[in-house]
Structure 1
Amino acid sequence: MHIEYDRENDTAYVSFVARIADGAAVRQVAVDGVAPEAEVMLDLDAAGRMLGIEVIGARRVLPAELLDGAPSVS
């Protein structure tokens, strides 16, 4: 598992594979029931396996210590 955090845009990405190849994520599924100020999307491959999770508004729904320790992409 790998976590990256874009501090400027408050967006986190949690990947479950070492590298997601271009075009491997063929479907995104929105997760309902998350805080109103945040969006969570699941990235799935063609077989329905979860490759990663994108979290927009990450500070609203993820622990600060997780984000503070994550490498920054901004």
Structure 2
Amino acid sequence: MADIRITYDKTADAAYVHLTDPRDDVHSARTYPCDPVDVDGMINLDFDERGRLIGIEVLAARSKLPEHVLKSAERLNPEPPRSG
């Protein structure tokens, strides 16, 4: 089973599912926005220059992804430690 990296920005409520090896220097050449009416939200598919799907951006992620996925995602803006 492949390890898939998922990042989550809590402030923006946006998640990104990375489908490439983190060691590869891959950049999005084209983004395909899914129809927001069909998916009841905004989901974007990123493709590289060879047409391969390299990532999936999910906006309003709390309403689209299971809670366990967001809890296990790498936080892009981690909460500061509580003092105490």
TM over 0.5: yes
Unaligned runs of 5+ in 1: none
Deviations 1:13-53 (A, max 9, x none): 0001123636x211000112111xx2100000111100000
- Residues 52-71 of structure 1: pairs in structure 2 closer than 5 A: 52-71=55-74
Q: How many residues align?
A: 71
Under a length normalisation based on structure 1, what TM-score does the superposition of the two structures give? 0.86
Unaligned runs of 5+ in 2: 78-84
Instruction: State the 4+ residue runs in structure 1 displaced beyond 4 angstroms.
Output: none
Under a length normalisation based on structure 2, what TM-score does the superposition of the two structures give? 0.76
Determine what percentage of the aligned residue pairs are the same residue.
35
Residue in structure 1 matched with residue 82 of structure 2 by the alignment: none
Higher share of residues assigned helix: 2
Question: Bigger relative contact order, structure 1 or 2, given CA contacts below 8 A and separation 6+?
Answer: 1
Which is higher, the Rg of structure 1 or of structure 2? 2
